[in-house]
Amino acid sequence: MAHINHYRQVNNIQRLSVHEAISPRSSNDSFGAFGGYKNQRDLIGLYEISRNIGSKGIVLIHNDSNFESRLSELYTINPAIRQRRVAPQMYLANSHGSQNSFYDPLYGLSSSDVLDVIAPIPHDSRTLAEVQSVRSVLADYLEIISYQFTKNSNAFGNYPYNLDLLYEITSMSFTELNRNILAYLPAQQFDNLTRRLSAPEAQQRVFNAVRSFSLALEKCLWKYKGFSKHSQLSIIDTVLSRNLISIYVPGSRKETLDYLAAEFKSLNDRNIPYLLVTSNITISESPEFQKLFLNEHSDLPYSTGILSEDISSVIGAGSTTNNSFSNNTALSSFFTQTQEIFVFSCSSTLAAAPFSDGIGNYYRQVSEQHNETHIEPFHIFSSHGYGSAQREVQQAIINPEELTSLGDGCLIYGSNHAIPILANHFIF
């Protein structure tokens, strides 16, 4: 019979509270909460947000109106929020079921950022000349807006660009644009812009690009209201003000996530700290958005959080042909870039397997003893021999079956934990 020297590195704890698990850590740690009941994952998200709010901007991207409705609990979890000299504000950009969207696309972006989101440089060189032509004319429209901003910034807010105004002026015929706007520009600027914008089809090509961009965001992130009613509400402005913004993205729409990734990239280019949290969002729907979570970002001052029933929110389902990460690479990157991963009881061994794989394996020594009985030729009696052998057997540090029977316990691991923590009872 085999004798097993069974040794694994797991920190077993009988009881662990959410305060003990979260409070001592750096506020720049990224986190994830998976499995269990939705209330368990939601509370992890609320506690993480509560300790960051006011010190940095917070962005919640969700397909989860229930979690959004619980944001008011932040004041109960962290009463000090109300006691600050300048209390952080919370903005709901486009609540589920609302007929209005208050988000202000392009608000806070630079002119080069606007060019990149509306007329991105194509990978296909065959269309490069056409796109460059559109970008050149679009830059002229942005120049007009920038000039108007310098003359009357009150109507604009803190930044010159917004989709409502760009849509309005690019939809004008050249005659209308010349009469209502160009005629009031300085002479040199008037001459240069008039010459370029009066070119055949210049206005129509740019308007087509702006309209295509706006249609991708319509009925989700943006609804045309007109420049006079633009909201001045965007990720960039909210983060710079250290406030919180909640954005509803139904179905993890790729076009919307692609655009939001551009705003986050702008913040990263400026080295602005923020916390990005997703709830019930499949980040792999948008490779650009997914990179915010999976690419190396330890040198940047932002952190991320994912609240999801299982790991499919990170890797998606089915083919990954169009994604930057294969499933295995995505999982490896996520485990590397995430400091704190909370895994509550999983619904199946299939759902638990990626977390078990992420923690890894260890080798245990198996000592096997055996005896042999044999009769040698020309001998009447048998002889006996005894022996032993050792071999190594690879085994998961945490078996998937353990994760399906956690009850109210929790597994905690991630890049902060060389040794995973297995709490029999996790207390909120």
Name the least confident of 66-70, 343-347, 380-384: 380-384
Residue 331 in domain: no
Chain segment 220-240, per-residue pLDDT in tens = 899 999 999 999 999 999 999
Number of domains composing the chain: 3
> Is the predicted pLDDT of residue 381 greater than 60, yes or no?
no
Q: How far apart are CA 363 and CA 344, in angstroms?
A: 26
Domain end, chosen from 320, 352, 367, is at 320
> Is the predicted pLDDT of residue 321 greater than 50, yes or no?
no
Residue 326 in domain: no
Provide the domain limits for residue 215.
111-228
Q: How far apart are CA 24 and CA 230, in angstroms?
A: 42
Residue 327 in domain: no
Amino acid at 263: E
Contacts of residue 22, Cβ cutoff 8 Å, sequence gap at least 6: 44, 47, 48, 51, 340
| Domain identity same for 130 and 223 | yes
Look at 189 and 85; give whichever has higher pLDDT: 189
**Which burial class, exposed, middle or buried, applies to 426 when counting CB atoms under 10 A from its CB (0-12, 13-18, 19+)?**
buried
| Domain identity same for 211 and 251 | no
> Is the predicted pLDDT of residue 328 greater than 90, yes or no?
no
3-class secondary structure per residue, 123-151: CCHHHHHHHHHHHHHHHHHHHHHHHHHHH
DSSP per position, 173-184:
-HHHHHHHTGGG
**Strand arrangement, sheet containing 274-279:** 11-17, 417-427, 410-414, 340-343, 31-34, 302-308, 274-279, 57-62, 244-248, 90-92
Residue 329 in domain: no
| Domain identity same for 287 and 244 | yes
Chain segment 67-106, per-residue pLDDT in tens = 999 999 999 999 988 888 888 999 999 987 777 778 999 9
| Domain identity same for 189 and 84 | no
Q: Return the structure tokens found at 80.
A: 């000090």
Residue 426 in domain: yes
| Domain identity same for 69 and 143 | no
Domain end, chosen from 209, 228, 247, is at 228
Residue 204 in domain: yes
Classify residue 89 by its DSSP letter. P
- Assess contact for 49 and 74: CB atoms under 8 A: yes
Output Rg (C-alpha) for the chain, integer angstroms.
29
Residue 175 in domain: yes
Whole-model pTM above 0.75? yes
Residue 220 in domain: yes
| Domain identity same for 268 and 189 | no
